[in-house]
């Protein structure tokens, strides 16, 4: 699980948004649960 470094695609997308590497709209378009990307 997460304790050993595993994460969901949505979590990875959120990290990229947080680092300003991708736009939130792009992340939402690729996410399984777009409402969770902020």
pLDDT tens digit string along 16-34? 999 999 999 999 999 999 9
Nearest-angstrom CA–CA distance, 33 and 6:
18
Whether the predicted pLDDT of 36 surpasses 90: yes
pTM score, whole prediction? 0.87
pLDDT of residue 2: 83
Query: What residues make up the domain containing 14?
Result: 2-36
Q: Domain count of the chain?
A: 1
pLDDT of residue 38: 96
| Residue that wins the pLDDT comparison between 4 and 14 | 14
């Amino acid at each position: 699980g997460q304790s050993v470094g595993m994460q969901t695609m949505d979590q990875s997308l959120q990290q990229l948004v947080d680092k300003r590497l991708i736009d939130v709209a792009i992340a939402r378009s690729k996410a399984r649960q777009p409402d969770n990307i902020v």
